[in-house]
Amino acid sequence: MTCTYRNSYLESDEFFTLILHILSVIQFPLHVYAAYVIIAKTPSVMKNVKLPMLMLHLVCASFDLFVTIGIIPVVQFPILAGYPLGFLYTLGVPSYVQSYVAVTFLLMLTPSITMFFESRYNVLVRKDSESKSRKIKRTIHHFVNYLFTMLVFAPTVFDMPSASETRRIFMEKLPCVPTEILDRPGYTMLGNLNIIRITVPVNIAICSVQVFAFFFPTWSHISNTKTQSRRTTELQKRFFKSLLLQIMVPFIIVLIPGCYIISTFFTYNLDILICNMVLVSITLHGFLSTIIMLTIHKPYRTATVQMLRIGRQKGSSAVRKALSIN
């Protein structure tokens, strides 16, 4: 294994914590507002995507806030070791529990995206979408997806090396990194990388197959249905493309650093600065997803514009009132 450690401020815990705290200050109010908009401002014509959209938003927001506030994880990816700097460790939450929560919330993106596309498929393609049996089957389907995702990372958490084994692996694999990192409070190393290499890709593959299985019939139905007006068809296409954009852009943001993380398992190259920046970039996916959602969907965009104009409207009305009095 080769590693790069510059011992610079950019690699320090202080700089990493500062960046994530700045992100949390920006993201927290935005995520809260977005949840409010979905719940209160979703029109009746979008009621079928309200729950999937809310679920996707809550998963993205939870991951962002857990990482930027609760955990602040400093990770050495080739050996999946690191330590937390957030308030959860201050509260006494074990590092391995924090690791499980962070990775699981990130993996929750896959069943949430599946639910997104399944809801469109159910409404547009299925003729029995409102039947009781169909609702039961859908509930079981999504429950199994979420349950499986919650269990994927569990075997790794329950197979952690001892403190002596952690020290041996660290000194063998990361010769250029100062050994005092081992003495950081909460330093933890997850065990059995082979399990991760199998279970995580399997989870992603299963959900990806489902996404494609729902996407293509839905798009084909929208494109080929002749019994509705041309305007209705165009509106459905536009809405479906908006949903696709809302999902794909943040997914790409996660995919790029994710590919780097996966590559380290095979190349065994470590760069402390890149590891920190990878985590920072991953926490941006929820922020971008929220911005895109509030921008491309007209009801949410309108609600946001109206909210931003409240102060201006109050000021304008006060000026008009003063002028009328004079």
Torsion of CA 246, 250, 256, 262, to 10 degrees: -110
Residue 177: pLDDT band by 50, 70, 90 thresholds? confident
Output phi, psi for 241, to 5 deg: -65, -35
Torsion of CA 251, 256, 260, 263, to 10 degrees: 80
Instruction: Give percent above pLDDT 90 in the chain.
Output: 15
Question: Tell me, what's the pLDDT at 227?
Answer: 60
Ranked by mean pLDDT, which of 170-179, 196-205, 207-216 comes out on top?
Answer: 207-216
For 84, the enclosing helix (H) or strand (E) is strand 81-84
Decide: pTM greater than 0.95. no
Other CB atoms within a 10 A radius of the CB of residue 35 amount to 15
- 300 within 8 A of 41, measured Cβ to Cβ: yes
> Which of helix, strand or coil describes residue 318?
helix
State CA 301 to chain mean position distance. 22
Residues 64-103: tens digit of each pLDDT: 889 899 999 888 887 778 889 998 988 988 888 888 888 8
Tokens of 22: 């700045």
- pLDDT score of 217 more than 80: yes
Residues 239-265: tens digit of each pLDDT: 788 778 877 776 787 788 888 887 887
Residues 271-283: tens digit of each pLDDT: 888 888 988 988 8
Q: Please identify, in words, the CATH class of the domain defined by 2-313.
A: mainly alpha
